[in-house]
Amino acid sequence: MSAGTKGTERQAFIEGFLSKVLPPIYRFGTGDATDVSGNRSGQLDVVIEYPFSPSLPSVSGAASTGTTRLYLAESIASVVEVKSDISKQWSEAQKTAAGLATVRRTFGATMSMGIPPTAEIPLFIASYTGWKTVATLQTNLAATPEVAGILVIDAGLFVSSPSYGGVIATGVWALWGLIGVLHLIANGLQAASTNPFGYAR
pLDDT confidence of residue 63: 44
Is the pTM higher than 0.85? yes
The 10s digit of each residue's pLDDT in 6-24 is: 556 666 776 667 878 888 8
pLDDT at 147 over 70: yes
* pLDDT interval class at 60 (50, 70, 90): low
Going 66 to 68 to 72 to 73, the CA torsion angle's sign is: positive
The 10s digit of each residue's pLDDT in 122-141 is: 999 999 999 999 999 999 99
Q: Tell me what the pLDDT averaged over the chain comes to.
A: 87
Instruction: Show me where the domains of the chain are located.
Output: 3-196
The dihedral region occupied by 92, where left means phi > 0, alpha psi between -120 and 50, and beta the remainder, is alpha
